[in-house]
Amino acid sequence: MGNELKRFAGKSALITGAGGGIGRGISLRLAREGADIAACDIDQERLDETMVNIKETGRQGIALVCDVAQEGEIENTAKRALAAFGKIDILVNNAGIGDTNKSFDEIDADLWDKVYAVNVKGPFFLSRGIAMDMIEKKIAGKIISIASTEGKTNRAGSLAYASSKRALIGITQGLAIQLAPHGITVNAICPGLIDTPIWHKADRDMDLPLGSMVKMVGDTAMEQRQLKLLRIGTPDDIAAAVAFLASEDASYMTGQAINVCGGMEFS
Ligand code: NAP
């Protein structure tokens, strides 16, 4: 993979959704570049698999089972991560859920609230807790949230999901303004189509073999030349961009929402 850079030696990172496809990719990339990792996920089993991979890099890792939709659990997770490493230099708000493209007349208030609790409220309150610690310790930290190209151009017509990702971009900009005086940068990555287990829910709902839905969407996007680079993205594609934003190479960037999408989105 050629990750010989050690840009994060002496740093520690907290990553949510670290048991999932993109979160695991980010955790391993930052660990290979020298960071200790506080890995958070709602799913203990998948988190444990990520921990095995982190340990293989030789870095320290702690597993924090947490539902980012619950304010109390977020607070506890932040406390445990800070107790373990003494500080958090890099926060990656990656945990997110979809709304399985429910139509406007099917979506109910419970689903709406759940999507917003995980995709919007959780990232905000965790960012707030970690930013307050960064300010107290005078850490020029990096906060990175994983939004979506759907938060810029709503191609699939999803309602709760796309609007929640747009809200996350708004929070990124607001925090960037308020935290700039403290030397903390806040940015978002907008992935396009990435092959991860998030797509498996749709496979299961439609009784299709796992991986069918992302392939179908990818094939269509390639046929229509929306997906210019003619391949579906991988967690490593997103992890590389996160590592850049977390590094000093991105020290003059804040409030940005960067597309990593094979050219599917231009704005
Ligand atoms: P994924 O493989 O499903 O990973 C997400 C992880 O977050 C899963 O382990 C999931 O656990 C966990 N999680 C869900 N709800 C949580 C909660 N309340 N608290 C803590 N952890 C929770 O999905 P992914 O594709 O890697 O997605 C990562 C991020 O990228 C998400 O924000 C997603 O919206 C964004 N994104 C993905 C794509 C794509 O094409 N894959 C495109 C654009 C944006 P469970 O499996 O138990 O739910």
- For residue 225, name the pLDDT band (cuts at 50, 70, 90): very high
Mean residue pLDDT across the chain: 96
Which is the catalytic residue, given 87, 116, 161, 252? 161
First to last CA, the chain: 30
**Candidate of 26, 41, 242 to mutate for ligand 1, largest count of ligand atoms within 8 Å of Cβ:** 41
Locate all alpha helices (DSSP H) within the chain, ordered by sequence: 21-32, 44-57, 71-85, 109-116, 122-136, 160-179, 200-205, 212-223, 235-246
Mean pLDDT of 179-192: 98
Within 6 A (CB) of ligand 1 lie: 16-17, 19-23, 41-43, 46, 66-69, 94-97, 118, 146, 148, 191, 193-194, 196-198
Which is the catalytic residue, given 165, 215, 228, 252? 165
List of domains in the chain: 12-194+233-260 (3.40.50.720), 196-232 (no CATH)
Mean pLDDT of 159-181: 98
Nearest alpha-carbon partner for 121 in 164, 157, 87, 90: 164
Q: Is the pLDDT of residue 184 over 70?
A: yes
Mean pLDDT of 212-221: 97
